[in-house]
Amino acid sequence: MPHVEIKCYPGRTEEVKKRCAEKVAGDIAEYLGCSASSVSVSIKEVPQENWKEQVYDGQIMADKASLYVEPGYTCD
């Protein structure tokens, strides 16, 4: 079933990450027409100094064809 991986800078509390994951799971279930219990969500923290290499270049731009929402920033 659906799995969502969220990557963000470190610094949010466990409670904030938990609430975010629950909200995302609920929205995914609603929009994709599945049970919330079928959705899994992970949150991985990536330090800012690693963002460009690991996330922006390594995942976002490398798989740009699959993006439905592109970032409104660049990492030049």
Q: Which residues are catalytic?
A: 2
| Phi/psi at 63 (5° precision) | -125, 40
Strands 3-8 and 40-45, sheet pairing: parallel
Element at 19 (helix H, strand E)? helix 14-32
